[in-house]
C-alpha cells in the first residue's frame, strides 16, 4: 500500500449524485442493527470530534435506541480546533458549544446518555495514539462492539482514533467496526484505497433518516459561515447530503 497515493481532503469532494449512481453500493451485503450489536453486547461509539458520532452511525444509533440497546458514546476531543483564527468561534466557545450540540443531536436520535469526554487535544491525536488506547482500554468491556472512524479515513485525528481503537479492542476483547466519514469525500466509486470487500450496508427507513438529518442540524457551529474569517461551513454541502442516505456503510 505504500505506493498508493495518500488521500487529500479539499473542496466539496465527490458528490452524492456520483455515489448514488454507483451500483456496487446497492449490492453491498446487508446487516441489521440486532445482528451487528447482539443483545448481549454494548455498542460503543468513539468519536474523534463532536458530530462524528452522528455522521458515521447516526442512523444505527437511532435504531439501537428504538431497540433499547445499551449504547455508550466516547468523545475523544471537544472539537475546539474547528475554526482556526476565528473570533466568532474561539476555542473557549467551541469547548462548551460543541459538546452541547452533541448532546442535542443524540437526544434527537433517541439517546439520553451523556458522552464520556476524554478532553484530548483536537488536531493532536496523531501524537497521542498510545495515551488514547490506554484510556479506551479502561472504558471498554469484553464483547463490546466499538464503532469508530476508519483507519484510512484521510483525517489525522480520525485515523489516529481508529488506530487507538484497534489496539484497545484487541486488549479488551471487544469487536472493532470502522466507519468512513471523510473517506466519502476524497475517494470515488471503486477507489482501490477503500476496503470495499469488508463493507456492509445498514438500511435505514425514512423515519430514521429524518432523525439523523435532524441530529446533523444540531451542529449549528459547523453549518454556518464564519463571519470573522470568511470561511465556509466546516461541514460541506456534500457531507450534509450524505446524511440523507437511506443507508450507512461500515467496514467489518
252 residues of the chain, pLDDT tens digit each: 344 456 878 888 999 999 999 999 999 999 999 999 999 999 999 999 999 999 999 999 999 999 999 999 999 999 999 999 999 999 999 999 999 999 999 999 999 989 999 999 999 999 999 999 999 999 999 999 999 999 999 999 999 999 999 999 999 999 999 999 999 999 999 999 999 999 999 999 999 999 999 999 999 999 999 999 999 999 999 999 999 999 999 999
Residue 116, domain CATH: 3.40.50.10320
First to last CA, the chain: 19
CB distance 187 to 193 below 8 Å: yes
Residue 32 resides in a domain: no
- 170 Cβ partners below 8 Å, 6+ apart? none
Give, in order, the Cα–Cα distances in Å from 149 to each of 27, 78, 164: 23, 16, 10
Q: Is residue 11 part of a domain?
A: no
In a domain, 118, yes or no: yes
Q: Residues 22, 24, 27, 29: is their CA dihedral positive or negative? A: negative
Nearest 10 degrees: Cα torsion 220, 20, 193, 202: 70
Quote the CA–CA distance of 180 and 17 in Å, as a whole number: 18
- Sequence-distant (≥ 6) Cβ neighbours of residue 100 within 8 angstroms: none
Q: Residue 3: its pLDDT value, please?
A: 44
Q: Please check whether residue 70 lies inside any domain of the structure.
A: yes
pLDDT of residue 1: 34
Q: Which pLDDT does position 95 carry in this prediction?
A: 95
Our count of domains for the chain comes to 1
The reply to whether 10 falls in a domain is: no
* Beta carbons of 151 and 178 less than 8 angstroms apart: yes
In a domain, 226, yes or no: yes
What is the pLDDT at residue 232?
94
* Residue 202 domain boundaries: 41-181+190-251
Classify residue 158: in a domain, yes or no.
yes
Torsion-angle region of 90 (φ positive above 0: left; ψ -120 to 50: alpha; else: beta): beta
Task: Tell me if 27 is assigned to some domain.
Answer: no
- Closest of 94, 231, 81, 105 to residue 156, by C-alpha: 81
Whether residue 23 contacts residue 194, with contact meaning beta carbons closer than 8 Å, is answered with: no
Amino acid at each position: 500500500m505504500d505506493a498508493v497515493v495518500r488521500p487529500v481532503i479539499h473542496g466539496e469532494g465527490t458528490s452524492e449524485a456520483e455515489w448514488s449512481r454507483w451500483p456496487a453500493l446497492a449490492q453491498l451485503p446487508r446487516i441489521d442493527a440486532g445482528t451487528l450489536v447482539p443483545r448481549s453486547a454494548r455498542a460503543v461509539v468513539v468519536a474523534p470530534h463532536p458530530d462524528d458520532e452522528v455522521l458515521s452511525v447516526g442512523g444505527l444509533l437511532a435504531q439501537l435506541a428504538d431497540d433499547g440497546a445499551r449504547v455508550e458514546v466516547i468523545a475523544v476531543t471537544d472539537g475546539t480546533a474547528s475554526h482556526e483564527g476565528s473570533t466568532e468561534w474561539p476555542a473557549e466557545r467551541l469547548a462548551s458549544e460543541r459538546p452541547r450540540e452533541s448532546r442535542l443531536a443524540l437526544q434527537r436520535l433517541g439517546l439520553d446518555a451523556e458522552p464520556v469526554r476524554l478532553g484530548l487535544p483536537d488536531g493532536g491525536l496523531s501524537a497521542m495514539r498510545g495515551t488514547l488506547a490506554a484510556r479506551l482500554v479502561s472504558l471498554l468491556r469484553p464483547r463490546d462492539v466499538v464503532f469508530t472512524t476508519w483507519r484510512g479515513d484521510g483525517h489525522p485525528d480520525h485515523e489516529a482514533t481508529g488506530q487507538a481503537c484497534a489496539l484497545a479492542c484487541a486488549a479488551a476483547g471487544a469487536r472493532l467496526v470502522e466507519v468512513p466519514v471523510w473517506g466519502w469525500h476524497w475517494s470515488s466509486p471503486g477507489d482501490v484505497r477503500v476496503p470495499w470487500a469488508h463493507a456492509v450496508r445498514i438500511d435505514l427507513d425514512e423515519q430514521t433518516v429524518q432523525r439523523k438529518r435532524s441530529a446533523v442540524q444540531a451542529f449549528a457551529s459547523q453549518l454556518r459561515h464564519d463571519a470573522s474569517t470568511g470561511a465556509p461551513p466546516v461541514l460541506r454541502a456534500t457531507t450534509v447530503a450524505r446524511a440523507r442516505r437511506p443507508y450507512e456503510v461500515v467496514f467489518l
